[in-house]
Amino acid sequence: QQQVKQSPQSLIVQKGGISIINCAYENTAFDYFPWYQQFPGKGPALLIAIRPDVSEKKEGRFTISFNKSAKQFSLHIMDSQPGDSATYFCAASGNTGKLIFGQGTTLQVKP
Amino acid sequence: DGGITQSPKYLFRKEGQNVTLSCEQNLNHDAMYWYRQDPGQGLRLIYYSQIVNDFQKGDIAEGYSVSREKKESFPLTVTSAQKNPTAFYLCASLQGGNQPQHFGDGTRLSIL
């Protein structure tokens, strides 16, 4: 019940395309859903986050869509660029602050 | 600049040896976390501390130990009981509640 399942494991997108990464969770007590971006040899950095009282949040080219009834949320990267090539992690937490991470998606954006 | 500093960046452990990974933060955050990252497995929680002089086991605490004597410091010791220590170790901190965790740049531990 504590798991967060992320897919796909890897993704190749052409420059200018849309990258979509999906996550699903079980625990209905989760109320904070961040996405992290990680470059090789670096720690994850917060990209965008959403709480379940909204269905969508957009920041620049990055959008989170949230479906509370389905217990799913997704990251959309519009106009994907080679600089977006990284590993992306979804996560979920409740009021303890403990994050449960998905397994990660390695994104490659081809020029 | 406020942030989290992990050291060393690379660390090698001999058989039967304990090693300690450093994590220091100047963000004045109350909570600190240690994660282990293996390829294809995401981040798994080792230990966390929500207040000085208190810490709790995470999902994979066996073979590890921590201390939290100061608010800004949360060192992780990888003991000889940890039979598969090769991994990328990440430290994070959090002000409280549902705020984003801030991560350091990690320590990569390998076996000699």
| Predicted pLDDT of residue B16 | 86
Say what the pLDDT of residue A97 is.
75
The answer on pLDDT for A73 being more than 90 is yes
pLDDT tens across the length of chain B (112 residues) = 669 999 999 999 888 899 999 999 999 999 999 999 998 778 999 999 999 999 999 999 999 999 999 999 999 999 998 889 999 999 999 877 667 789 999 999 998 8
How close B89 gets to chain A, by Cα (Å)?
A: 9
Residues of A within 8 A of B102 (CB-CB) are: 46
CB atoms within 10 A of CB B1: 3
Q: How far is CA A69 from CA A28, A53, A54, B109, in A?
A: 10, 12, 12, 41
pLDDT given for residue B40 in this prediction: 72
CA angle, A30 as apex, A24 and A31 as ends, to 5°? 110
Predicted pLDDT at A75: 98
**Long-range contact list for A63-66, CB < 8 A, 24+ apart?**
A64/A33, A64/A35, A66/A33
* pLDDT recorded at residue B1: 60
User: What is chain B's Cα-based Rg?
Assistant: 13
Position A94 scores a pLDDT of: 84
Cα A89 to Cα A8, A9, A38, A76, B82: the distances in Å are 11, 10, 8, 13, 26
Provide the shortest C-alpha distance from residue B88 to chain A (in Å).
9
Mean pLDDT across A59-78: 96
Residue A96 has pLDDT above 90, yes or no: no
Q: CA-to-CA distance for B50 and B40, rounded, in angstroms?
A: 28
What is the phi-psi region of residue B41: left when phi exceeds 0, alpha when psi lies from -120 to 50, beta otherwise?
alpha
**What's the distance, CA A58 to chain centroid?**
13
User: A98–B45: do the CB atoms touch at under 8 Å?
Assistant: yes
Chain A residue numbers with beta carbons less than 8 Å from the beta carbon of B100 are 34, 46, 49
pLDDT tens for A32-60 read 999 999 999 899 999 999 998 999 999 99
More confident residue, B89 or A96: B89
Average pLDDT over residues A83-103: 90
Cβ distance of B101 and A46 shorter than 8 Å: yes
pLDDT of residue B97: 64
